[in-house]
Structure 1
Amino acid sequence: MPDSVTPPDAYPVSERNKVRRLHERGRYDKESVHAILDAAMVCHIAYVIDGQPYCTPTAFWREGEHLYWHGSSASRMLRSQKGGVPVCLTVTHLDSLVLARCGFNHSVDYRSAMCFGTARVVDDPAAKSRALDAMIDRFYPGRNAELRPSTAQELKATTVIGMEIEQASGKIRSKGVADEEEDYALPIYATRFPVTQVIGAAEPCPRMPEGVPFPEGLAGFTPGRRLDELMLESYRTTYGKE
């Protein structure tokens, strides 16, 4: 799909982001890609420094067409990105293990996204402070207003990186067991095991003063709640539907 005819609600497709294998699983519309991103809390960022490839896991968040992540100011990755470095940010949700009737058809159900852009350090102090506040509220809506402000030293010790999504693609498999037609009659156990990350019971800090109430903004953090669903809910609470 050439850039000249790319609809406004989709990312342009080129050799860089085109899904090559099992292309029918590919998604280029922004709604699908954003849903995969917004259901996640952790991403992996791939980049090259002096010919050496690296891939770093970190918490991230999306604001419109921009992605942000943070880390220690001492991080080699973040120092090296001050001038702007091409990166590929990826997110994967493992949804189920699929056991078929032959090894070739064993698989997993998943949702994944790859985003391409140029990462740059957010240097402006006000923008940096706002971004760090936004990170807290993105995951825990309204919580930043309940916290003590970050100190100047804490802000100095943290680097914020941002990138505009230049291109992106999603890839989704959700069909479960898919065997050869002639294999379905074989007496071989085949199944799908759903896989989810869920919230556990809260373990309050033992040094918290007595009488501190459970914040209303954390009402969704109930034991057994799916993390991906909670992250989507938190995103929409903070930013609305984008």
Structure 2
Amino acid sequence: MRELLVEGHVGIAIQDAGGDHAPTLSLVYRHPRKADYALDQPFTWNGVMTDLPLTALTRVRRGAHHQRTDRAALYDVIDAALYATLAIVRDDRPVALPVGIGRDGDDLLIHGSTGSDFFRRIAAGAPVSLTITHLMGLKYARSLFDSSMRYRCAVVHAVASVVPPEEKEAALLTLSEHLMPGRSADVRPMTAREIAATLVLRVPLTEASVKDNAGSLVEVDDDGEDRSVWAGMLPLRAVAGEPVTSAQTAAGVAVPDSVRRAAERVSAAGMS
């Protein structure tokens, strides 16, 4: 076992496999005062996309022991989200917009108008940064300095590719099924004109980071704070409200089962 560990940082513990096999690399956080903290999943250099590699863009530096490097953690964050914040640099200025998302295997699908300058720049190869955050709670400490948020967050860095015309309808249905599952069976099919007016982009989930401190509520015994001051967590979650029928809907039309199921799904998973 070899170690490349620096106090206060995530490092690597290398386990030689012997023979021609690639070594196994485990991510370890060397805590300044406590025992080393092994991150959840090791990864191997075997060419299989099962874990998230660390790069200059994806290595978490603050609270590094909360970083998750398993791809399953990334997909959990993505699949519980209805939208993400998509950012590019346009004319030397950062621009960020919320976009609906849907995962298709190891890619994320997003869409916008073919007339959008923002999306046209992404289609032309502008690098993107995409962020998803689930706010899970507010930590009330005994000082404002130590108070904080509890969240799960994913950040993706990529260059998107344009979904070709022959694949656009299927990609849009994938998006629809994530955002409004079952809705495509309730409404008319998309027209060729609508599909042509929509730009669909595929964002590879190759370079990404995940940070999860949602379950962290740690107090230090000898912090010197006044224990008569309340401290704890205020949990937060998204909950769907009662569906509101459009005034233009014909009288007597009931809320579809697909909408009821979508509301239950959002509330059960706390999707946001």
The gaps in structure 2 that reach 5 residues or longer are 1-11, 13-24, 26-43
Cα deviation per residue 1:152-194 (whole Å; 9 max; x = unaligned)? 3322332111121121111011245433323465321212111
Match for residue 157 of structure 1?
197
Residue matched to 2:79: 38
Contact 2:127/2:158 (CA < 8 Å) preserved in 1? Answer: yes
Alpha-carbon offset, residue 6 of structure 1: 7.3
Tell me what 1:106 maps to.
Answer: 147
Tell me the equivalent position of 1:240.
Answer: none
Matched, 1:127 2:167: yes
Aligned partners of 1:11 and 1:167 also within 8 Å: yes
**1:4-45: CA deviations, max 9, x gaps?**
367642111111211111111001101111000110011011
- 1: distance between equivalents of 2:56 and 2:196? 39
Q: In structure 1, how many angstroms separate the alpha carbons of the residues matched to 2:151 and 2:117?
A: 31
Equivalent residue letter for 1:64: G
Task: Identify which of 177, 180, 188 aligns with 1:137.
Answer: 177
Structure 2: which amino acid aligns with 1:133? L
1:181-225 Cα offsets, whole Å, 9 max, x none, are: 2346532121211111110011112222234343333342447x7
- 2: CA distance, partners of 1:199 / 1:41: 13
> Of Structure 1 and Structure 2, which has the larger fraction of its residues in helix?
1
- Rate the CA distance shift 1:222–1:67 in 2: closer, same or farther, 3 A: closer
In the TM superposition, what are the counterparts of 1:207-218 in structure 2 within 5 Å? 207-218=248-259
**Kept after mapping to 2: 8 A contact 1:119/1:161:** yes
User: So what's the TM-score if we normalise by structure 1?
Assistant: 0.84
Q: What secondary structure sits across from 1:109 in the alignment?
A: strand
Q: Do the aligned residues in 2 keep the contact of 1:133 with 1:144 (CA within 8 Å)?
A: yes
TM-score, scaled to structure 2: 0.76
Identity, % of aligned positions: 30
| 1:179 aligned counterpart, secondary structure | coil
Q: Give the match for residue 135 of structure 2.
A: 94
Q: Deviations over 1:47-69 (max 9, x none)?
A: 22332222121111111111111
Q: Judge conservation of contact 2:59–2:209 (CA < 8 Å) in 1.
A: yes
Is 1:197 aligned with 2:238?
yes
Shift of 1:227: 4.3
Q: Tell me, what secondary structure is at the counterpart of 2:160?
A: strand
Aligned partners of 1:200, 1:162: CA distance in 2, in Å?
A: 31
- Distance (Å, rounded) in 1 between the aligned partners of 2:116 and 2:242: 33
2:218 aligned residue: 178
Deviation at 1:151, TM superposition (A): 2.5
